[in-house]
Structure 1
Amino acid sequence: MNKKNRAFLKWAGGKFSLTEQINQRLPKGRRLIEPFVGAASVFLNSDFDEYLLNDINPDLIEMYKIIKRKPKQFIIDAKYYFQDKFNDETTYYELRAEFNASDDFYKRSLLFLYMNRHGYNGLCRYNQSGGFNVPFGRYKKPYFPEKELLFFAEKAKKATFTCKSYQKLFQHLRDDDVIYCDPPYVPLSKSASFTCYASCGFTLEDQANLAQLARESKCCVLLSNHDTPVTQALYHDAQCDQVLVSRTISSKSSTRLPAAEIFALFSAG
């Protein structure tokens, strides 16, 4: 694919800069399964006949389903929140509270995109009660990603979206499936881990369980993670190689130093 396609979401840990390296390592197959789809950069920049895109975050998945079903209406309604009057700290916190109090998936989807573009540094974070708690971002003029939304909606015709645990994605696989896993990364240090992307954490036990599922899978599984002694031990029997990437989560650009990431490919068992 010549032209790279950006996700319509800002996303800490997004894979836009690594899509070429990921595509080089993904085996051939008919369907790509992503248990941790996030902002969907790999989906947007790969070429499979079918996609099964999953995430544990129901706000993310419901929004994707809505955009697939009625993209033009979603764009019209979402654009409303990108007027200058909404780029205000007080208004942001009022709308964040409205989001947390609402059980209407369509309303939550509109505000999810609004908060993603107006909140701090592309973070998606919830407190222990399940409330979205990312602070206001103070951007001069947040970008409304209309063309990115339209591209996503068109390509989403090839995709099925699910909100399940990662374990369930490994239970009903076809021989021509390929799996790409981009789980919450093993922290580089105790202070490096930012709180919860969804309303539950991803523990070291989960990291080990995911590696075991990949090892036992009937399909090829490619995993990304930080390159640490922990991940080297977890992926010891996979085909592994390392890449250096820039960090994007740190608030100070001077501390966004390159970090080593590991790709681990488990061949079909």
Structure 2
Amino acid sequence: MNKTILKWAGSKAKVMAQLNQYLPAGARLVEPFAGSCAVMMNTDYPAYLIADINPDLINLYQQVKEFEKPFTALVAGIFAQNGSEEDYRRIRNEFNHEASLPLLYRAAYFLYLNRHGYRGLCRYNRKGDFNTPYEKQAKPHLPVDEIRAFAAKAQRATFICADFTETLAQVQAGDVVYCDPPYAGAFTQYHTDAFNDGKQRQLAQLLSSSISAGVSVVASNSDTPLVQELYAGFDRHVISVARSIGVAAGKGKKASEIVAVSRVVAVSEVAA
């Protein structure tokens, strides 16, 4: 398993052995919900289109792709000098309110906040301010090896800040789409906009349209009646995953997730 730069609630890093069983070959992997990029880091597609609605996340990935060495040096200095809750609050305040903060610094601060914040939670208030609380740790991990590995893999990737509708509008025949949206029935206030049931339905409809255009689709979501309904036309597999946040969270606590896999569409059906 290749580890990721970020801690991330709901990361697929620990279930990639299972998930890879359902991801088919293709010319390009398209991810409308980037998250920690665990799927990109643990697959081997010729190319990647990685998208997310969160500009801070995409900026981090773009800065690492283009400026790996200066980014790593900057992050190392920030980690070495700032470890207390007071430091965390000060950096979070600057991250939220310093409009002139250079993009490289903004990316470094985002990584610092992620690694010193509560359990990989990425949360913003309605004003757009990052508001994940501090988590006291013996020694937050400085992911130097992960940054290096990501920078190398990222040379195959295009990163865009876009919502899922914009991203899915760019898919082409031969692509593989993997969707890991904010889960139905769980915490949905990702970035500044809630991912409600209406968006779950819209996403499922767009994914079905993509299949008709000759695109392979795999989607993860919580095992709920709504998800069972939305992906009734898919082959559905249930996997067990660990939870670090929410009602089911805790050491050894597991929850069921659905991996919905598009059924093979015949050439004649696509042409029709």
TM-score, normalised via structure 1 length: 0.93
Q: Give the superposition deviation at 1:64.
A: 0.5
CA contact (8 A) 1:125 1:195 kept: no
Report whether the alignment pairs 1:22 with 2:15: no
Match of 1:211 among 195, 204, 212: 204
Partner of 2:258: 262
**Cα distance, 1:74 vs structure 2:** 0.2
* Mapped partners of 1:174, 1:94: distance in 2: 45
Contact 1:102–1:108 (Cα < 8 Å) also in 2:
no
Indicate conservation of the 8 Å contact 1:36/1:181, yes or no.
yes
Matched ranges for 1:108-119 at <5 A? 108-119=106-117
1:243 is paired with a residue of what secondary structure? strand
Q: Which amino acid aligns with 1:16?
A: A
Aligned to 2:159: 161
CA distance in 1, matches of 2:168, 2:154: 22
In 1, the alpha carbon distance for the partners of 2:28 and 2:69 equals 27
Report the CA distance between 1:227 and its aligned residue.
0.7
Whether the 8 Å contact between 1:126 and 1:196 is mirrored in structure 2 is yes
Q: Partner of 1:194: helix, strand, or coil? A: coil
Q: Which runs of 5+ in 1 are unaligned?
A: 188-192
The gaps in structure 2 that reach 5 residues or longer are none
The 1-side partners of 2:142 and 2:176 are apart by 33
Q: Are the structure 2 counterparts of residues 195 and 206 from structure 1 closer, same or farther at C-alpha, using a change threshold of 3 Å?
A: closer
Cα 1:45–1:254 change in 2 (3 A) is: closer
1:221 and 1:254, CA in 2 relative to 1: closer, same or farther beyond 3 A? closer
Q: Is the 8 A contact 1:127 1:199 kept in 2?
A: yes
**For residues 254 and 10 of structure 1, do their structure 2 counterparts lie closer, same or farther at Cα, with a shift above 3 Å needed?**
closer
| Mapping 1:83-232, distance limit 5 Å | 83=80, 85-103=81-99, 104=101, 105-187=103-185, 193-194=186-187, 196-217=189-210, 218=213, 219-232=215-228
Local SS of the residue matching 1:237: coil
Out of 63, 76, 79, the residue aligned to residue 76 of structure 2 is 79
Hey, what's the Cα distance between the residues in 1 that align with 2:168 and 2:117? 34
Q: CA RMSD in A?
A: 1.6
CA contact (8 A) 2:188 2:195 kept: no
- Give the SS at the match of 2:125: coil
Q: Distance between the aligned counterparts of 1:137 and 1:251, measured in 2?
A: 19
**Distance verdict in 2 for CA 1:235–1:64, change over 3 Å:** same
